[in-house]
Structure 1
């Protein structure tokens, strides 16, 4: 999971979403609100194209799932499930792009909360997941830094799905090669090639690995985190390289 910037919707879509929410709010009971929300969502043809386009713009890589970062995002997921919060069914701030596996097999209607009722899952469009999760780069597994990070690991199966863990290990190797190739291209004066390397690198699946590399390279314990990989750490700390890669995604690690 990586930090995402919420896209803006067309004004007409925003108005339509508000109309749907008002219609749900008018229902007399909670059951009626849930039933009406479900009915309206099943017939959302007028707003679906704009919602999908907005989520695709926000998504990591080439429309990757905002939870696992690996598979293509195919579903509009309600961060707070509509079965629990019908009034948020058409709330744009409650919509994320998920792959069908994360949406239907992992998250479903799960929405764990703390004792005070606050959500334990991390919304990547509202906060930085790296405040709650740390990727152990050589292993391809996540470690929870907080209870919320641990909840994300459990609900989305971030460490239980071998395809994700193995994919992250491969993505780490590929990302290391990319930063090395970028430095070589720049040293040869091949700026167009270097720019292309940056673009292709960010468009790959599992770019949470690349984000974690830059984030951890600036950590006070970076020498320990990259023990035995000092050359990669030096590259990740190269101001010119950091600017080229991070500026592409609007990051500031």
Structure 2
């Protein structure tokens, strides 16, 4: 999971979402509101394409899932499930892009809260997942820094899905190679090639690995985190390389 920026919707789409929310709010009981929300969402009269376009623009890489970062995002997920808060069914700030596996097999209607009822899952458009999760790069596994981080690990199966763990290990190897290639291309004055390396790097699946690498390289314990990989740490701390990668084309 990485921090994402929410974009604005077209005015017509925003107006339709407000109208549907008003129709749900007009229902007399909570049960009626849930039923109305379900019916309206099943129809989604004219709003689904615009929502998907906006979520795709926000998503990492080529429309990757905002939870696992690996598979293609195909589903509009209600972060706070519509079965729990029907009035947020058409709330744009409650919509995220998920792959079908994360949406239907992992998260479903799960929405853990703490003892005060505060949501534990991290919405990456509101909070930085790096404040709650640390990726152990050589192992491809996440460690929780907070209860919110642990909730994300559990609900999204971030460590229990072998394809994700193995994918992150491979993504780490690929990212290290990309840093080296960028340095070589830049030193040779091949700036177009260097920019292409950056573009491809950010569009790969599991880009959370690359984000974690740059983040951890600035950590006070970076020397320990990258023990045995000092050359990688030197590259990650290179001001020219950081500028080239972090100011994406």
Q: What TM-score, normalized to structure 2? A: 0.99
The offset of 1:45, in angstroms, is 3.4
State how far apart, in whole Å, the 2-side matches of 1:159 and 1:34 are: 33
* Deviation digits for residues 116-155 of structure 1 (CA, Å, limit 9, x no counterpart): 1110000001110000000000000000000110010000
Match in the other structure for 1:146: 146
Q: Are 1:78 and 2:78 counterparts?
A: yes
Is residue 183 of structure 2 the alignment partner of residue 183 of structure 1?
yes
Alpha-carbon distance in structure 1 between the residues aligned to 2:191 and 2:184: 10
Deviations 1:93-129 (A, max 9, x none): 0000000000000000000001111100000011100
Give the drift of 1:247. 1.3
Question: What does residue 134 of structure 2 align with?
Answer: 134
Q: Residues 217-237 of structure 1: CA distance to partner in whole angstroms, max 9, x if unpaired?
A: 000100000001110000000
Deviations 1:226-253 (A, max 9, x none): 001110000000111111111118xxxx
Residues in 1 aligned to 2:53 and 2:156: alpha-carbon distance in whole angstroms: 24
Map residues 152-167 of structure 1 onto 2, 5 A cutoff. 152-167=152-167
Distance (whole Å) between structure 1 residues aligned to residue 105 and residue 248 of structure 2: 33
Q: Please report how far the alpha carbon of residue 51 of structure 1 lies from its aligned counterpart in structure 2 after TM superposition.
A: 0.2
Aligned to 1:33: 33
Structure 2 residues without counterparts, runs of 5 or longer: none
> What does residue 112 of structure 2 align with?
112
Task: Tell me what 2:200 maps to.
Answer: 200
Over the aligned positions, Cα root-mean-square deviation in angstroms equals 0.7
- Could you tell me which residue of structure 2 aligns to residue 42 of structure 1? 42
Structure 2 distance, partners of 1:244, 1:24, is 48
Which ranges of 4 or more aligned residues in structure 1 deviate by more than 6 Å? none
Partner of 2:227: 227
Other-structure match for 2:242: 242
SS at match of 1:135: strand
**When the two structures are aligned, how many residues end up with a matched partner?**
249
**2:20 is aligned with 1:23:** no
Q: Structure 1: any 5+ residue segments left out of the alignment? A: none
Matched, 1:57 2:50: no
Q: C-alpha separation between the residues in 2 aligned to 1:43 and 1:50?
A: 14
Q: More displaced, 237-246 or 170-179?
A: 237-246
TM-score normalized by structure 1?
0.98
Equivalence for 2:96? 96
Name the residue aligned to 1:11. Answer: 11
